[in-house]
Structure 1
Amino acid sequence: MELNLSETKTIKVKILNTEYTLKVEDEELGYKVAEYVDGVMRELESKFPGRNALTIAVLAALNIAEELFRERMKHDNVEGEIENLLMDLSNRVDKILSL
């Protein structure tokens, strides 16, 4: 994923009580992503009190990456099911046309 710097906007977000300045193409998405990351980190911070911010950040990154991989697997499974249905439909159309 490449960021087009000519079309970026600068936003300020707060994640786990630290303010960050981000360059984003889509402000609304940037805020939503930052809010999501902050939520994941706060949840982990409450589950593992006393851990430093780096540990919480790594745990959050691992959790978010796992979510991403699970969603990709679901997408691939759905894509495979659609391909199978299309092949079946194509075979049925071929049979009908050959009658």
Structure 2
Amino acid sequence: MSEKNKKSIRVKIFGSEYPLRGDSEEFTRQVANYVDSMIDTVHKQIPDQPPLTVSVLSALNITEDLFKEKESANTIKTYLEDELTKMTQYLDSYLPKPEIGIEESNESISSE
């Protein structure tokens, strides 16, 4: 979506309002709510820390979650690729092989 077509919304994160633009208003709000929730959780654990410290620790927590999800997705992808390879090999071992290939078939037609 072009920059013109992105919807502009205002969200509140850690007590401050921010104007944001995104393809989907609902998705942008979900992301903002997640960030606000994470900051609120960290702030409750360390209420005496300055906002910058709370924000940095929240960013680290969010990034840790992201890295864990990426690792999990990669593990699942690798597993599925392995399973697909096994299934393909299994099917290849039981399906009859064509006696004549496409290239050979075309050659015999053109030579006639």
TM-score by length of 2: 0.81
Q: Identity, % of aligned pairs?
A: 33
CA distance in 2, matches of 1:76, 1:56: 30
Of 66, 69, 74 in structure 1, the residue corresponding to residue 72 of structure 2 is 74
After superposition, what is the alpha-carbon deviation per residue over 1:10-38, rounded to whole angstroms, capped at 9, x for unaligned? 11111111111111111001111111111
Q: What is the CA–CA distance in structure 2 between the aligned matches of 1:28 and 1:35, rounded to whole Å?
A: 10
Matched letter for residue 16 of structure 1: F
Listed one character per residue, the Cα deviations across residues 43-87 of structure 1 (whole Å, up to 9, x for unaligned) are 100100111111111111110011010000010000001001110
Matched, 1:22 2:29: no
Q: How does 1:56-67 map to 2 (within 5 A)?
A: 56-67=54-65
Structure 1: gaps (5+ residues)? none
Quote how far apart the aligned CAs of 1:6 are.
2.2
Superposition RMSD in Å: 1.4
Query: Quick one: distance in 1 between partners of 2:18 and 2:50?
Result: 18
Q: Report runs of 4+ in structure 1 exceeding 2 Å deviation.
A: none
Q: Report what 2:44 is aligned to.
A: 46
Taking the aligned partners of 2:63 and 2:54, their CA distance within structure 1 comes to: 14
What is the TM-score of this pair, normalised by structure 1?
A: 0.91
Q: Which has the higher contact order (CA 8 A, sep 6+)?
A: 1
Structure 2: any 5+ residue segments left out of the alignment?
A: 98-112
